[in-house]
Amino acid sequence: MKKLWEGRFSEDTDRLVEEFTASISFDKRLYKYDIMGSIAHCKMLGRCGILNKEETKKIVNGLENIEKEIEEGEFEFDTGLEDIHMNIEKRLIDEIGDPGGKLHTGRSRNDQVALDMRLYLRDEIQEIIKGIKELKRSIIRIAKKNVDTIMPGYTHLQRAQPVLVSHHFLAYFEMLDRDEERFKDSLKRINVMPLGSAALAGTSLPIDRDYVASLLNFPKITTNSIDSVSDRDFTIEFCAAASILMMHLSRLSEELILWSSSEFNFIEIGDSFCTGSSIMPQKKNPDVPELVRGKTGKIYGNLFSLLTMMKSLPLAYNRDMQEDKRPLFDTVDTVKASLNIYSRLLKEIKLKKDEMSNAASKGFTTATDMSDYLVKKGLPFRETHKIVGEIVKYCINKNKRFEDLGLKKMKEFSDLFEDDIFRYIKVENSINGKMSKGGTSGKEVLKRIAEIE
Ligand code: ARG
């Protein structure tokens, strides 16, 4: 196979080296962006008088035909041509002859690949943001349907205080909201145009980088040619944002898995979103959230793979950087698939409201309210904490709930207790008492829902 860079070489490339160095099997997915970038580059060369009109037209047409060929599955990708950039360029030269050989004027594959990656990620991030928005909507739907559904809130996975189910789900809304913001913010740094940095030093040819940027809709161009070809921060940042998003989905998954167990028995996941066991006939397994939780590890791995790949690279471009593609593509695919299935999954979940609210009234979840009651009567918090602790101990020993103790018994612990204590520690009242901003009271939760909408 003739190489585009064969001039300096007297021997053919070893077959094994060809296979080892090639990236075409995975970077072919950049074809659309590679062609888009090349067309913009070519138009710029034409405008700057580096190519004549005829050449410009031939190249643009040639590239458009190649795009069609690829889309129709008629393009033959060649490992001997290493990557998507040279596969397309070689095809162009074969098709239109001499003018094709002028396309690469004033650029290098180093700035070309940086451009392709930015164009690719810019598109994919929009898809991911759409996915996050959709999932946020699913969460709001659940929150709105459950403004008076009660569940135990947990700390240390021990029942802590009663909360509204909507408040619990809205916690995930907040996480996803930050995720969306993170992706949007990273877009600012992705959306910078590197082409024209050439190999690393820029070019002596009279090119117009700003024109390329305007053709490709970039608000700005990179400002240092060395940095332009050696920077992969934007891929790392993307993978970091993706890792945080997946961590959130993984936490939600963990809860759904726990909640669907007989031990919790809080939810039922629809049959169409579960799978069975090949041996135990009674099983119905929550595989979808399990797999999202499982894939999260791989997404962290991808982030680490990029960070580690970059950490010792001298400036500027190094071939190591070709290894950024698979982790990045895998992250994009996994995040998109997880978001997509999650929006559906949430629609398949049935909450067992009675079980949830039953659980909320067990485990002395209103002990803090009882303590607050005494605080309101003027006792120092540390003292009230101790008194209520003693009441809890008494109840555990006697196998009683707070409600089973009469006022007389309560007064043995503190004579500040009055009849209204039993109303005060009702689960509903406990929740509605949490009126502090951002608290779980119905009023606060409805306020947040209204704000979001
Ligand atoms: N396939 C290469 C990559 O992904 C393109 C850049 C190659 N540049 C070079 N000087 N060999 O990084």
Q: Which of 3, 82, 113, 200 to mutate to test the pocket of ligand 1 (most atoms within 8 A of CB)?
A: 113
156 in catalytic set: yes
Residue with tokens 């500027």: 316
Q: Which of 34, 90, 200, 322 to mutate to test the pocket of ligand 1 (most atoms within 8 A of CB)?
A: 322
pLDDT score of 6: 80
Cα of 421 from ligand 1 centre, angstroms: 73
Of 13-22, 204-213, 267-276, which has the strongest mean pLDDT?
Answer: 204-213
Percent of the chain at pLDDT > 90 equals 93
- CA 439 vs. chain centroid, Å, equals 27
**pLDDT interval class at 8 (50, 70, 90):** confident
Cα of 281 from ligand 1 centre, angstroms: 53
Measured CA to CA, the distance from residue 368 to residue 384 in angstroms comes to 9
* Across 401-426, average pLDDT: 94
Q: Which of 90, 109, 112, 315 to mutate to test the pocket of ligand 1 (most atoms within 8 A of CB)?
A: 109
pLDDT one-digit tens code per residue, 14-36 = 999 999 999 999 999 999 999 99
Peptide bond before 40: cis, by omega within 30 degrees of 0?
Answer: no
Which residue spans within 100-213 are E strands per DSSP? 150-155, 158-164, 192-193
Measured CA to CA, the distance from residue 269 to residue 260 in angstroms comes to 7
Cα of 214 from ligand 1 centre, angstroms: 25
* Across 332-359, average pLDDT: 97
**pLDDT interval class at 433 (50, 70, 90):** very high
Determine which of 12-16, 18-22, 183-187, 382-386 has the lowest per-residue pLDDT on average.
Answer: 12-16
**pLDDT interval class at 274 (50, 70, 90):** confident
Q: If DSSP codes are grouped into helix, strand and coil, which group holds residue 192?
A: strand
DSSP string, 344-403: HHHHTEEE-HHHHHHHHHSSSTTHHHHHHHHHHTT--HHHHHHHHHHHHHHHHHHT--GG
CA-nearest residue, atom 11 of ligand 1: 319
pLDDT score of 7: 82
Cα of 322 from ligand 1 centre, angstroms: 6
| 390: its two tokens | 């003693």
pLDDT one-digit tens code per residue, 52-102 = 999 999 999 999 999 999 999 999 999 999 999 999 999 999 999 999 999
pLDDT score of 33: 98
Measured CA to CA, the distance from residue 139 to residue 248 in angstroms comes to 13
Name every protein residue with a CB atom under 6 angstroms from any ligand 1 atom. 23, 27, 83, 109-110, 113, 317, 319, 321-322
Q: If DSSP codes are grouped into helix, strand and coil, which group holds residue 261?
A: coil
pLDDT score of 278: 82
Among residues 269, 252, 65, the alpha carbon closest in space to that of 168 is found at 252
pLDDT score of 88: 98
Cα–Cα distance list, 228 to 112, 113, 233 (Å): 10, 11, 10
Q: If DSSP codes are grouped into helix, strand and coil, which group holds residue 10?
A: coil
The number of residues in the chain equals 453
Residue 139 has pLDDT above 80, yes or no: yes
* Across 306-334, average pLDDT: 98
Q: What is the phi/psi pair of residue 161, to 5°?
A: -145, 150
* Across 315-342, average pLDDT: 98
277 in catalytic set: yes
Supply angle C-alpha 298, 303, 304, rounded to 5. Answer: 95
Residue with tokens 């099983």: 283
Cα–Cα distance list, 412 to 407, 409, 415 (Å): 9, 5, 7
pLDDT score of 415: 94
Q: Going from the N-terminus, what domains does the chain have, and what CATH number goes with each?
A: 13-105 (1.10.275.10), 110-358 (1.20.200.10), 363-452 (1.10.40.30)
Cα of 114 from ligand 1 centre, angstroms: 9
**pLDDT interval class at 226 (50, 70, 90):** very high
DSSP string, 182-207: HHHHHHHHHSEE-TT-TTTT--SS--
Among residues 46, 183, 158, the alpha carbon closest in space to that of 103 is found at 46
Catalytic residue among 10, 108, 138, 156: 156
Determine which of 116-130, 204-218, 234-248, 396-410 has the lowest per-residue pLDDT on average.
Answer: 396-410
Catalytic residue among 41, 138, 277, 343: 277
Q: If DSSP codes are grouped into helix, strand and coil, which group holds residue 164?
A: strand
| 64: its two tokens | 């458009």
* Across 118-122, average pLDDT: 98
pLDDT score of 245: 98
Residue 114 has pLDDT above 90, yes or no: yes
Helix (H) or strand (E) holding 442: helix 442-452
Residue 276 has pLDDT above 90, yes or no: no
Helix (H) or strand (E) holding 334: helix 325-347
| 62: its two tokens | 């040639």
Q: In the beta sheet, which residues pair with residue 275?
A: 285
Residue at 278: amino acid letter: S
Pairing of strands 150-155, 158-164: antiparallel
CA-nearest residue, atom 2 of ligand 1: 322
Residue 1 has pLDDT above 80, yes or no: no
Measured CA to CA, the distance from residue 316 to residue 79 in angstroms comes to 25
